[in-house]
Amino acid sequence: NAGVTQTPKFQVLKTGQSMTLQCAQDMNHEYMSWYRQDPGMGLRLIHYSVGAGITDQGEVPNGYNVSRSTTEDFPLRLLSAAPSQTSVYFCASRARVQETQYFGPGTRLLVL
C-alpha cells in the first residue's frame, strides 16, 4: 500500500490563480480530511468527508472547495488563491471511528 499520497509537494501560485491539491489513499478508508498547518497555530481542519458523495466543513473552510466522487480521492480546490492561503496542507484518512488517522506527506503552497 502507498498509504496517503499528495501531489504536488510544492507549488507557487500568484494571487487570484486557481489550483487543485490532490489527495489519494489506497486503503479503502471512508473518512478523509484536509488540514492546513501554520506556524504557531497547529493543524486546522478545512473540510472532511465521511464517504463518497458526503463532505462537510471544518474549522476554516472559506476559500476552499472539496468533492468526493470516489472512495480513493479527495481533492482540495482553491478557486482564487490569496496570500493568506500560504501554508502546508495535509490530507489524512482513516477507516472508521476509533481507527488510526494516517497523514500524507503534505503540500507546501506559497501564494505571492
Partner 1 sequence: AQSVTQPDIHITVSEGASLELRCNYSYGATPYLFWYVQSPGQGLQLLLKYFSGDTLVQGIKGFEAEFKRSQSSFNLRKPSVHWSDAAEYFCAVAPEGYQKVTFGIGTKLQVIP
* Cell digits of residue 81: 488563491
SS3 84: helix
Stretch in the footprint of partner 1 (CB under 8 A) among 10-18, 21-29, 55-63, 75-83: 55-63
Stretch in the footprint of partner 1 (CB under 8 A) among 12-20, 21-29, 33-41, 69-77: 33-41
Choosing from 13, 23, 29, 48, the residue that interacts with partner 1 (CB under 8 A) is: 48
**Residue 1 binds to partner 1 (criterion: CB under 8 A):** no
**Residue 74 binds to partner 1 (criterion: CB under 8 A):** no
